Amino acid sequence: IHVVGPNAGESAERGVAGPGRLAEVAEVRAAIEALLARDAGQRERKPLTGRRVVVTSGPTHEPIDPVRYIANRSSGKQGHAIAAALARLGAQVTLVPGPVVLADPPGVSTVHVETAQEMLDACLAALPADIAVCAAAVADWRVAQAAGQKLKKDGGGPPTLAMAENPDILRTLSQRQGDRPALVVGFAAETQNVVDYARAKLVKKGCDWILANDVSGGGVFGRDDNQVILVDATGAERWTVLDKQAVAERMAGRIAGHVSEGA
Ligand code: CTP
């Protein structure tokens, strides 16, 4: 007997939250596939067997004081699905998610973090790696000095929060000397000039591929379907609208193809 979930989150009863949600169908499917593949995998060599991968996923939480934080609406669905898809192809995957309600994908080593700095530290601890996929929506800024105690209303008006810049994990991994992963993949969400902006980001950060989300038609966070364009230094390939699971499968396939070309 193998157990999938339960996941944490809001329950059907309004205002009630905690563990008890049915795992997402995609997670149940991934767990079944991982179990079925496990035995088969021992017989057949998979395309990413022996490859080490680090994947970031979800948002980061940057504390203001012990009870408040700055965050964003990233669900982690895409990053988690990519981590699971790479593991199904035989990779040894370290997934570094910020706070998410998703269950840890099966067959993946998951290191939970809260802040951008912790995410960077966990990624660096996972090196050396052959491949890095930075799917997390990392907060660009943190509060420079998080308060040790809860901030109180003192009648003096709203507090002023001095901010400090967070480390850029994608750029740091892309520009490592000596232990740079051979393939570094970043993400971008754009509403216009998608390919140009994605390529500029690729150059600025020094990564090899950018999976650009065209979000001109509405938000992408938390949704299941995605219009993506895979951009590298020389070309751009627009994929049909796919759900995040299918984007993950195709991405993992592309990575496996690239790795085998270079082998
Ligand atoms: N990223 C990161 N660490 C950060 C910020 C971003 O690793 N501190 C990674 C994300 O995981 C993603 C890519 O960088 O792969 C996104 O780049 P970013 O410059 O954050 O994109 P946008 O937020 O879309 O930037 P902009 O507002 O400039 O378009």
Catalytic residue selected from 7, 72, 166, 226: 72
- pLDDT band at residue 10 under the 50/70/90 scheme: confident
- pLDDT band at residue 224 under the 50/70/90 scheme: low
Q: What pLDDT shows up at residue 20?
A: 85
| Three-state SS sequence of the chain | CCCCCCEEEECCCCCCEEEEECCCHHHHHHHHHHHHHHHHHHHCCCCCCCCEEEEEECECCEEEECCEEECCCCCCHHHHHHHHHHHHCCCEEEEEECCCCCCCCCCCEECCCCCHHHHHHHHHHCCCCCEEEECCECCCEEECCCCCCCCCCCCCCCCCCCEEECCCHHHHHHCCCCCCCCEEEEEEEECCCHHHHHHHHHHHHCCCEEEEEECCCCCCCCCCEECEEEECCCCEEECCCEEHHHHHHHHHHHHHHHHHHHC
**7 tagged catalytic:** no
Q: What pLDDT shows up at residue 222?
A: 55
Asked if the model's pLDDT at residue 65 lies above 60, the reply is yes
Q: What pLDDT shows up at residue 238?
A: 95
Q: What pLDDT shows up at residue 21?
A: 85
Query: Per residue in 122-135, pLDDT tens?
Result: 999 999 999 999 99
Ligand 1: does its nearest atom lie under 6 Å from the Cβ of 62? no
Percent of the chain residues topping a pLDDT of 70:
94
Strand pairing partners for 143? 163
Ligand 1: does its nearest atom lie under 6 Å from the Cβ of 173? no
Mean pLDDT of all residues in 24-32: 89
Closest ligand 1 atom, residue 135 Cα: 11
Ligand 1: does its nearest atom lie under 6 Å from the Cβ of 126? no
Asked if the model's pLDDT at residue 219 lies above 80, the reply is no
Ligand 1: does its nearest atom lie under 6 Å from the Cβ of 96? no
- pLDDT band at residue 202 under the 50/70/90 scheme: very high
Query: Per residue in 100-152, pLDDT tens?
Result: 999 999 999 999 999 999 999 999 999 999 999 999 999 999 999 999 999 99
Asked if the model's pLDDT at residue 175 lies above 70, the reply is yes
Mean pLDDT of all residues in 36-54: 82
Cα-to-centroid distance, 185 and ligand 1 (Å)? 12
Ligand 1: does its nearest atom lie under 6 Å from the Cβ of 166? yes
Ligand 1: does its nearest atom lie under 6 Å from the Cβ of 119? no
Q: What pLDDT shows up at residue 7?
A: 87
By most ligand atoms within 8 Å of CB, the mutation choice from 169, 183, 231 for ligand 1 is 169
Ligand 1: does its nearest atom lie under 6 Å from the Cβ of 82? no
pTM: 0.85
Closest ligand 1 atom, residue 189 Cα: 24
Cα-to-centroid distance, 135 and ligand 1 (Å)? 9
- pLDDT band at residue 28 under the 50/70/90 scheme: very high
Percent of the chain residues topping a pLDDT of 90:
72
Asked if the model's pLDDT at residue 206 lies above 60, the reply is yes
Asked if the model's pLDDT at residue 89 lies above 70, the reply is yes
Cα-to-centroid distance, 198 and ligand 1 (Å)? 11
Cα-to-centroid distance, 138 and ligand 1 (Å)? 7
Q: What pLDDT shows up at residue 41?
A: 60
Closest ligand 1 atom, residue 186 Cα: 15
Q: What pLDDT shows up at residue 5?
A: 85
Cα-to-centroid distance, 161 and ligand 1 (Å)? 22
Mean pLDDT of all residues in 177-191: 96
